[in-house]
């Protein structure tokens, strides 16, 4: 067990920020987090978080996964210095958000499934997929082996074909995850869109959450709504001098707007 007080870190906010679909609320402030074949339970008590793992596992995996070495206070100051009322309120509301450093393949699968889908269904689909694969996140070869009745039981709809096609592309070495990891943001977006079922929004989500390209700025229905309703269609990261951290800005906006709307 490791108990820490970490500034600008809130597991509950992160779990509800739409960037990870394998975090589960166990009640009483306890969250269970899965990342590929790793898992951890985290107890939240105000600003105090207790991680159910060894110091070695925390140092070698979870600390980096939760982006705990990045200075979010400085990032937040940059946003406050813009004097943009909406963004400043969004940061105040979601101060505990961080960009997770997640597995690239897991993010490709997750965000292909996310298309025209809601978060509870996405989480259920991924949970079922893992259950069908001995409770391990399925690799491309595993997904191909699940083809047929088993994969249809996940009820992915048209997304099932996308997962099969992208799995085949990787297995046949027509698409390389290793090459993707070494690409610039611009090249990565173009390369990802070679995959069937991966458009600009999904490519940006994968770049942000699977490649840690924090300049990526995914534009989904929520961000479109914000730009139209809060900024009259005129929103510019360049003008605000925040383009290099656009992905972090996007998370604050997304989380804030969803919570405003649900109230």
- Residue 46 has a pLDDT of 83
CA 56, CA 43: separation in Å to the nearest integer?
A: 19
Q: Which CATH topology does 2-93 take? A: TATA-Binding Protein (3.30.310)
- Residue 262 has a pLDDT of 64
User: What is 197-237 written as a DSSP string?
Assistant: T--HHHHHHHHHHHS--TT-----HHHHHHHHHHHTT---H
Whether 117 shows a pLDDT value over 90: the answer reads: no
Q: Dig out the tokens for 184 from the structure.
A: 């610039």
- Residue 205 has a pLDDT of 97
> H helices within 83-145, ranges in order?
85-93, 104-113, 119-132, 140-145
Are 249 and 87 spatial neighbours (Cβ–Cβ below 8 Å)? Answer: yes
- Give percent of the chain above pLDDT 90: 88
Q: How confident is the model at residue 116 (pLDDT cuts 50, 70, 90)?
A: confident
Whether 154 shows a pLDDT value over 70: the answer reads: yes
Q: Dig out the tokens for 144 from the structure.
A: 């191909």
Q: Which whole number is the average pLDDT over 242-251?
A: 97
Q: Dig out the tokens for 178 from the structure.
A: 């290793």
Q: Which whole number is the average pLDDT over 252-263?
A: 86
Are 65 and 35 spatial neighbours (Cβ–Cβ below 8 Å)? Answer: yes
Q: Which whole number is the average pLDDT over 227-254?
A: 96
The 3-state DSSP class for residue 102 equals coil
CATH number belonging to domain 104-199: 1.10.340.30
- Give percent of the chain above pLDDT 70: 99
pLDDT tens digits, 26-71: 999 999 999 988 999 999 988 899 999 999 999 999 999 999 999 9
Whether 199 shows a pLDDT value over 70: the answer reads: yes
CA 83, CA 48: separation in Å to the nearest integer?
A: 30
Whether 263 shows a pLDDT value over 70: the answer reads: no
The contacts of residue 99 (CB under 8 Å, 6+ apart) are 19, 67, 70, 208, 209, 212, 214, 247, 248, 251
Q: How confident is the model at residue 115 (pLDDT cuts 50, 70, 90)?
A: confident
Q: 174: exposed, middle or buried (C-beta count within 10 Å: 0-12, 13-18, 19+)?
A: exposed
Give backbone dihedrals phi and psi of 35, rounded to 5 degrees, phi first: -140, 105
Fold match flag (2-93 vs 104-199) = no
Residue with tokens 């946003």, as numbered in its chain? 79
**What residues does 34 pair with on adjacent strands?**
39
- What's the 3-state SS for 13-25? HHHCCCCCCCEEE
Domain boundaries, the chain: 2-93, 104-199
The contacts of residue 198 (CB under 8 Å, 6+ apart) are 108, 112, 162, 166, 192, 206
- Residue 118 has a pLDDT of 87
**What residues does 93 pair with on adjacent strands?**
none
Whether 261 shows a pLDDT value over 70: the answer reads: yes
């Amino acid at each position: 067990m490791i108990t820490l007080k970490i500034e600008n870190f809130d597991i509950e906010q992160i779990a509800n920020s739409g960037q990870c679909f394998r975090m589960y609320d166990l009640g009483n402030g306890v969250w269970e987090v899965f990342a590929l074949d790793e898992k951890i339970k985290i107890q939240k008590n105000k600003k105090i978080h207790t991680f159910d793992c060894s110091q070695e596992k925390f140092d070698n995996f979870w600390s980096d996964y939760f982006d705990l070495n990045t200075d979010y206070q400085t990032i937040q100051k940059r946003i406050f210095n813009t004097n943009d009322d909406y963004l400043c309120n969004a940061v105040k509301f979601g101060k505990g958000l961080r960009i997770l450093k997640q597995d690239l393949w897991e993010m490709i699968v997750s965000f292909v499934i996310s298309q025209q889908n809601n978060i509870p269904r996405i989480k259920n689909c991924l949970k079922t997929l893992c259950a069908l694969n001995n409770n391990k996140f399925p690799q491309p070869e595993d997904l191909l082996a699940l083809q047929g009745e088993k994969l249809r039981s996940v009820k992915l709809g048209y997304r099932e074909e996308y997962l099969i096609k992208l799995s085949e592309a990787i297995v046949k070495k027509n698409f390389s995850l290793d090459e993707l990891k070494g690409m610039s943001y611009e090249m990565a977006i173009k390369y990802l869109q070679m995959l069937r079922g991966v458009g600009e929004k999904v490519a940006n989500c994968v770049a942000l959450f699977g490649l840690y390209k924090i300049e990526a700025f995914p534009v989904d229905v929520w961000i479109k709504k914000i730009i139209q309703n809060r900024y009259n269609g005129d929103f510019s990261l360049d003008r605000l001098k925040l383009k290099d951290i656009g992905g972090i800005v996007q998370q604050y906006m997304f989380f804030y707007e969803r919570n405003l709307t649900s109230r």
